[in-house]
Copies of this chain bind each other. A is one copy, B any other.
Amino acid sequence: MDLSAELKRYVARVEHGLALHVPFASTRPARLHTAMRYSLEAGGKRLRPVLLLATAELFGVRDDTPLPAAVAVECLHTYSLIHDDLPCMDNDDLRRGRPTAHKQFDEATALLAGDALLTHAFGLIAESYALRPTLAHALIRELADAAGSRRLIGGQMEDLLAEKKADVTPEELEFIHLNKTAAMIESSLVIGGLVGSAHLAELATLRRAGRDVGLAFQIIDDILDATADTATLGKTAGKDAKADKTTFVKLHGLARSREIAHQRSASAVAELRLLPGNTAFLCALVEQMAARAA
């Protein structure tokens, strides 16, 4: 299997889905919809929607049924980035190599574009799966849970609070990683399974695998922030150390962080292999991700 070619194929499907399932930039009010599309179209790895599409394929779904769900997950992820970049949060000027939404437009427009992408995620699922209300309902429940106050937003809140603390415990850091990062990655796999009518035991396996992928991903992100440069990352590098932020690298050191990232990836791969269908692509994707942290 050619990982890079396969990945390209998935990313192209996601881009196609984004073009199709998000209002045109010219929709009234144009400034709002332009800002929504600006942030969505800034690129990025599309990790979450790719995981979702590839998971659905494990369960035999090869058509475009999961595409609106994949777009919804990317809308949700993009909203969280836009709000996270705002001056009152991380105050970041650069994202995916381009000015952040509030830099390109203004704070109010960025705030509203984030709100609109979050709302669109739920609306798109409700609209796209109108003929399968039970599926729509399950997807929305999963998504609201992962993106809610106990998970994604809760992780962002604790992340902010941790920045003001002298010592953050490993348990607190794990809460942040599990919720700020892993929740949506976990959900992407679970939603892929739900679209593919996976059984309960399979959904549980997907959740465990997604959790491991998410934790590995966040540790690797911490490692790259400490070791790569801004041009490579497409976002400001070395930010964590500069802000004296408690990261995995700060708590456990670089060598041990790499070890844990590899362990998490390996256990994600082991979980994925329990699933039906051809898991070669998903396993290779996770392994390549881990290899980035060297």
A133 to B136, CA, bound (A): 8
Within 8 A of B (CB), among A85-137: 86, 88-89, 106-109, 111-112, 114-116, 118-120, 122-123, 126-127, 129-130, 133-134, 136-137
A15-32 Cβ-contact flags toward B at 8 Å (1 or 0): 000000001000111011
Number of identical protomers? 2
Q: Which residue from chain B places its CB closest to the CB of A118 in the assembled complex?
A: B118
Stretch of A148-156, A209-217, A243-251 at the chain-chain interface: A148-156
Assess whether A119 is in contact with B149, with CB atoms less than 8 Å apart.
yes
A86 to B106, CA, bound (A): 13
B residues in contact with A23, CB < 8 Å: 149-150
A111 to B149, CA, bound (A): 12
Q: How far is the CB of A179 from chain B (nearest CB, A)?
A: 9
Q: Which residue from chain B places its CB closest to the CB of A35 in the assembled complex?
A: B157
Assess whether B88 is in contact with A111, with CB atoms less than 8 Å apart.
yes
A18 to B130, CA, bound (A): 29
A153 to B27, CA, bound (A): 13
